[in-house]
Amino acid sequence: MTRTVAVLAAIVTTAGAATATAAIDPKGLALRKADFPAKAHKTFEQAGPSINLPGGIHAPAYAVTYRLARGDKREDIHLLVVAAGSVGKARALYSAAVRDAKEFVDSVQHSNPRLPSYGDAQYAAVVGDPGTEETGGQMWVRDGSVVWNLDIKTDPLAKDFGLSKAQTLHELRTYARKEQARAGG
């Protein structure tokens, strides 16, 4: 009887280890249509390790963009989720992404605005000038071995001007909270 228990324990341990090391599907961690207002629609979707990631890092990734209409204003919400496979690789990706984001300083209005924490590390910026045609915000979050980017922009072809700082921060908080819940943070 003890031998049978030992064999079963070994099988359960092996199955658990295989499940724990199985690759995380980044698409399963990303925002879905249900996370957006009813009239939002997907305008872009790409999955796979071929997505151009900061730092030249290769890892399973999923990118998606949803377009929202708010009166005459059109807003694009782009999300990138990367299942880096290890905390070290996620840290390297996050560092490269933040370094790239900080190089975009010519149009940054507020770097690291006040936002709740959504992971182990995060960087956020409000970009553009309120009242101009293209404004929005972006954030990079690393939570364990998962890195995600949320990028919110207004459509320059819309009849109305861009988002204010308060509107941008509201949108970042809204969708970051939802993405944190999806990614398990």
Kindly state the tokens that stand for 118: 């959504």
Answer yes or no: are the C-beta atoms of 67 and 41 closer than 8 Å: yes
Q: Please determine, for residue 138, whether its predicted confidence score (pLDDT) is greater than 60.
A: yes
Asked, for residue 132, whether it belongs to a domain, the answer is: yes
Q: How many domains does the chain have?
A: 1
Q: Please determine, for residue 10, whether its predicted confidence score (pLDDT) is greater than 90.
A: no
Q: What integer pLDDT is reported at residue 18 of this predicted model?
A: 34
The CB density around residue 132, as the number of other CB atoms within 10 Å, is 13
Asked, for residue 12, whether it belongs to a domain, the answer is: no
Alpha helix (H) ranges present in the chain?
Answer: 2-21, 87-102, 165-183
Alpha helix (H) ranges present in 56-185?
Answer: 87-102, 165-183
Q: Which amino acid is at 3?
A: R
In the structure, what pLDDT confidence band is assigned to residue 70 with cuts at 50, 70 and 90? confident
Q: Please determine, for residue 172, whether its predicted confidence score (pLDDT) is greater than 50.
A: yes
Which CATH number covers residue 148? 3.40.1000
Percent of the chain with pLDDT over 90: 51
Asked, for residue 8, whether it belongs to a domain, the answer is: no
Kindly state the tokens that stand for 158: 């819309």
Burial class (CB in 10 A: 0-12, 13-18, 19+), 69: middle
Q: What integer pLDDT is reported at residue 22 of this predicted model?
A: 53
108 or 92, higher pLDDT: 92
Q: How far is CA 15 from CA 8, 10, 20, 43, 165, in A?
A: 11, 9, 9, 39, 49
Which range, 21-25, 98-102, 164-168, is most confident? 98-102
Percent of the chain with pLDDT over 70: 76
Q: Which has the closest alpha carbon to 135: 159, 174, 113, 107?
A: 107
Asked, for residue 5, whether it belongs to a domain, the answer is: no
Q: Please determine, for residue 140, whether its predicted confidence score (pLDDT) is greater than 80.
A: yes
Q: What integer pLDDT is reported at residue 11 of this predicted model?
A: 34
Containing domain of residue 44, as a range? 23-183
Q: Please determine, for residue 158, whether its predicted confidence score (pLDDT) is greater than 80.
A: no
15 or 128, higher pLDDT: 128
Find the mean pLDDT for residues 117-132.
83
Asked, for residue 4, whether it belongs to a domain, the answer is: no
Find the mean pLDDT for residues 157-165.
69
Asked, for residue 62, whether it belongs to a domain, the answer is: yes
Segment (H or E) for 110: strand 108-111
Asked, for residue 39, whether it belongs to a domain, the answer is: yes
Kindly state the tokens that stand for 72: 């005459």
Q: CA 157, CA 141: separation in Å to the nearest integer?
A: 29
Asked, for residue 11, whether it belongs to a domain, the answer is: no
Q: What integer pLDDT is reported at residue 7 of this predicted model?
A: 32
